[in-house]
Amino acid sequence: MPGPLDGIVVIDLSRALAGPQAGMMLGDMGARVIKVEAESGDDTRGWGPPFVGPDHDISTYYLAANRNKESIVLDLKSDDGRDILTRLAQRADVLIENFRPGVLARLGFSNEHLHELNPRLIILSISGFGHDGPEGGRAGYDQIAQGEAGLMSVTGSGAEDPQRVGVPIGDLLSGMNGAFGVVSALYERERTGRGRVVRTSLLASVIGAHAMHGTNYLVGSKVGHAQGNHHPSIAPYGLFQASDGPVQIACAAESLWVKFAIAFGLDPAAPGMATNRERVQNREAVIAAVNGALASYTAQDVLAKLAEVGIPAGKVRSMDEVYDWDQVASQHLLLEVYHPVLGSITIPGSPIRLDDNAFSGGREVHLPPPGLGEHSDAVRAWLDDDRADG
């Protein structure tokens, strides 16, 4: 199965994580993704530890965002590099870039010129804070964007303890939004015959994920703040303590609260606890009551009892526990690929499955993250063949 984007050619000029994430998602769905790198390679090739391989020079960070791609090395300031990129742009369906605004134009490849070369080309441009506006030229890095876009203010143990999300969520969301925009533009092109420029940014992507925090302020005039591991609008919903460790419990409906309270000897109609509004207003008392009710149970016993009465709950797994979990394997979230240096390796797979196919993403055969310039000769030969055919 080649995947629903089989036949789509993507030129990935991006580096680090947001653009590469978008390119990888398109590659997972069957697109041919040609990653264009400088001689120094993608920044993430040097991000570590850990580094693996015989010479300990392969970054596991790089492996996370570059499966299903080919790599060609180009110097875009040279005549040869500009010539090859010109020919790639003429041949491609999609071009991804996350240079600072204006950099690609200064290299001779403005959006207008790219569309002169190929009117059907879809250009995905990912920036830190947007391509225009008073701060449109700012460099974008995930943690800075998390802070500037408000995410850190609602993450942490309290208002005085802002914390970054433990993964580069701004980058990842930008990649996802970018891939969605590209697929939308590809669908539109079927009607119009023309490409367009798709834009997103770390700022836009984090703000786009504010969910209720955005409407809480814009409509309700309430500024959210960090509240640790408890939901700002539902109680009890969060991380609680059994006798030997934490458990997560989500009483997201009044019926669930009643079941929970009865199961653990609490009065569901006690003063200050009868409705969700009351429980949120008396959050600390509710947390204390729930922790007190769980104190005589082990975490395993709590989870078993909650499952018995139908309360959504779970444990907090470490990464090794996650990847050893049979449910993860059943969802085809572990992808085995053959790497020319590392041999057979297992990496995280696509989060998307099509129909009930027993493989990750939209393609049956996946490519390992490429070595630097591994496909330079093959890509040049492909372009030469195409020129000869023309």
Same domain, 170 and 288: no
Same domain, 253 and 123: no
The answer to whether position 230 is within a domain reads no
Domain boundary among 317, 343, 362: 317
Domain boundary among 271, 297, 317: 317
Which 3 state secondary structure label does DSSP give 42?
coil
Instruction: Compute the distance between CA of residue 191 and CA of residue 193 in angstroms, rounded to an integer.
Output: 6
CATH value at residue 299: 3.30.1540.10
What pLDDT score does 149 carry?
A: 98
Same domain, 94 and 203: yes
Instruction: Compute the distance between CA of residue 131 and CA of residue 200 in angstroms, rounded to an integer.
Output: 9
Same domain, 43 and 105: yes
Instruction: Compute the distance between CA of residue 179 and CA of residue 350 in angstroms, rounded to an integer.
Output: 13
Q: Which residues are catalytic?
A: 171
Same domain, 146 and 281: no
What pLDDT score does 389 carry?
A: 65
pLDDT values of the chain reduced to their tens digit, one per residue, 390 residues: 789 999 999 999 999 999 999 999 999 999 999 999 999 999 999 999 999 999 999 999 999 999 999 999 999 999 999 999 999 999 999 999 999 989 999 999 999 999 999 999 999 999 999 999 999 989 889 999 999 999 999 999 998 999 999 999 999 999 999 999 999 999 999 999 999 999 999 999 999 999 999 999 999 999 999 999 999 999 999 999 999 999 999 999 999 999 999 999 999 999 999 999 999 999 999 999 999 999 999 999 999 999 999 999 999 999 999 999 999 999 999 999 999 999 999 999 999 999 988 788 889 899 999 999 999 999 999 999 877 665
What pLDDT score does 331 carry?
A: 93
pTM equals 0.94
Same domain, 281 and 311: yes
Same domain, 345 and 382: yes
Residue-range definition of the domain harbouring residue 285 = 237-317
Q: How many CA atoms lie within 13 A of 60 on its CB side?
A: 11
- Show the DSSP H helices in the chain as ranges: 18-28, 60-63, 79-91, 103-106, 111-117, 142-148, 169-192, 202-207, 212-218, 254-263, 276-281, 283-294, 299-309, 319-323, 326-330, 376-389
- β-strand pairing of 122-127 with 197-201: parallel
What pLDDT score does 376 carry?
A: 97
Contacts of 303 (CB under 8 A, 6+ apart): 247, 313, 314, 315
Count of domains for the chain: 2
What pLDDT score does 359 carry?
A: 81
195: Cα separation from own chain's centroid: 25
3-state secondary structure string across 324-390 = CCHHHHHCCCEEEEEECCCEEEEEECCCCECCCCCCCECCCCCCCCCCCCCCHHHHHHHHHHHHHHC
Same domain, 104 and 191: yes
Instruction: Compute the distance between CA of residue 128 and CA of residue 145 in angstroms, rounded to an integer.
Output: 7
What pLDDT score does 272 carry?
A: 94
What pLDDT score does 361 carry?
A: 85
